[in-house]
Amino acid sequence: MLTIIAIVLICLFAIGVPISISMGLAAFTGLLLRGNIPIEVTAQRFVTGVDSFPLLAVPFFMLAGGLMNTGGITERLVRFANALVGRFTGGLGHVVVVTNMIMAGMSGSAVADCSATGSVLIPAMVRARFGAAFSAAVTASASTIGPIIPPSIPFVVFGVMASVSIGRLFLGGAAPGILMGLYLMLVIYIISKKRGYAKGERVSTRDIGAAFKKAIPALFLPILIAWGIVGGAVTPTEAAVLAVLYALFLGLFVYKELTLSRMIQAFGEAALTTGAVMFIVAGASLLAWMMTREQAGPALVAGVTSITRDKNMVLLALNIILLILGCFCETLSLMILLVPVLMPLISALGIDPVHFGVVFVLNLMIGLITPPVGMAMFIACAIAKIRVVDFAREIPIFVGALILVLLLITYVPWLVLFLPNLLMGK
């Protein structure tokens, strides 16, 4: 039965059926062929798949990101980042990375961060005579930091699917996210030095202080979220609501740039995106239920352990598989589909679920910037007005840098686990 479901799914993908519908139809085909499962289960699984309190964090973090983009928060973060690192070789490229690292502590979405920073910084980089394709590659690559540094929408989904502490996942992503930023900045420096890209103007200490002063209200948001979750004052879902309220407060009363029309735009975009995401969740939930019922997890455990029980080899194989799948499939659907199948294997091999969760999500984030279906890639290309083929020439070195970070956290679990163990106990 698992083979039939897989064949149907691949065929639907091949003829261009949307991924959410493909997953639902593949599962429904298996349900019909099995013959002993009531058809009403389809509707039941669709509803229960999205009926989750932690998943409420997804629309709220998306809305928070939209309000930040329209309320003047992003612009002030860009100015602060420019004051900090704009003076270095490849200055605006570094500004993109630092801005994304700061925004990562607010929105939890790579797509939102790519859209926000790209709309501001890609045109600025092009005007400064950075190549349009290079500017797009930098922006898309930096946006992958968003779901790794807490808070993170993918970590929320993974925590729900795998029954893993979302707070520990959030803390586990902090160090890898910083490493991603540092590695990307190193690549930007090397390329900029080689191509002769300009430095930004040197900024005085007074100007840095002024930029910091204007950005302080925005910079307080990630501190508020992290303190609330780690301290146990709020759940991740409640933290997402706090992020929305704080973004509204800044946009309306502090920066005073959030008009009624902009607010309606942000709410509308968040609602549309949430609808699309939840439809994917529903279809993937039915497929994941069918695969679990057909014992896909135990079958995978038996197959892998019959070959090897070496954790390092298994993690290497999973990294390769996830990187390949990430090039062709949407992130959230892959997560909902694969987590129930892979977690029995992870448990059987004694791999820490928090460690694996961060490794898993980073794999899928790299997929956002790789052809043919990387969402961050498409957004950056649209803003830069370039073809995907031009983007594809610039992106390999950035993908390589992120894969180095992936390998590092895969085989040095301490980088992921030391903060959760320090602040929340083992």
Per-position b or e across 67-101, b if 16+ CB within 10 A of its CB:
bbbbbbbbbbbbbbbbbbbbebbbbbbbbbbbbbb
- Residue 59's SS3 state is helix
pLDDT digits (tens, 9 = 90+) for 55-81: 777 788 778 877 887 888 877 888 888
**Res 363: pLDDT:** 94
Contact of 107 with 65, CB cutoff 8 Å: yes
Q: What does the DSSP 8-state code read for residue 146?
A: T
Instruction: Using alpha carbons, list the distances in angstroms from residue 163 to 160, 171, 221, 302, 357.
Output: 5, 16, 27, 22, 11
Instruction: Using alpha carbons, list the distances in angstroms from residue 230 to 102, 144, 422.
Output: 18, 23, 11
Mean pLDDT of all residues in 276-287? 78
Which range (277-286, 357-366, 415-424) has the least confidence? 277-286
Mean residue pLDDT of the chain comes to: 85
Beta bridge partners of 199: 89
User: Domain locations in the chain?
Assistant: 53-424
Q: What is the rounded distance in angstroms from the CA atom of residue 139 to the CA atom of residue 111?
A: 11
pLDDT > 70: percent of the chain: 96
**Res 67: pLDDT:** 85
Per-position b or e across 254-271, b if 16+ CB within 10 A of its CB:
bbeebeeebbeebeebbe
pLDDT digits (tens, 9 = 90+) for 195-224: 988 776 777 788 888 888 888 888 887 777
Is the per-residue pLDDT at 17 higher than 90? no
pLDDT digits (tens, 9 = 90+) for 34-60: 877 788 878 887 888 777 777 777 788
Instruction: Please indicate whether residue 355 or residue 426 has the higher confidence score (pLDDT).
Output: 355
**Res 286: pLDDT:** 80
pLDDT digits (tens, 9 = 90+) for 335-345: 877 888 889 88
Is the per-residue pLDDT at 376 higher than 80? yes
Beta bridge partners of 89: 199
Nearest to 168 by CA among 318, 358, 331: 358
Is the per-residue pLDDT at 249 higher than 80? yes
Is the per-residue pLDDT at 367 higher than 80? yes
**How many other β-carbons are positioned within 10 Å of the β-carbon of residue 3?**
8
Is the per-residue pLDDT at 245 higher than 80? yes
- Residue 164's SS3 state is coil
Mean pLDDT of all residues in 409-414? 96
Is the per-residue pLDDT at 138 higher than 90? yes
**Res 12: pLDDT:** 81
Q: What does the DSSP 8-state code read for residue 330?
A: -
Contact of 98 with 229, CB cutoff 8 Å: no
Which range (84-88, 140-144, 363-367) has the least confidence? 84-88
pLDDT digits (tens, 9 = 90+) for 147-202: 999 888 889 889 988 889 888 998 999 999 999 999 999 999 999 999 988 776 77
Contact of 119 with 66, CB cutoff 8 Å: no
Mean pLDDT of all residues in 214-237? 78
Contact of 339 with 158, CB cutoff 8 Å: yes
**Res 297: pLDDT:** 63
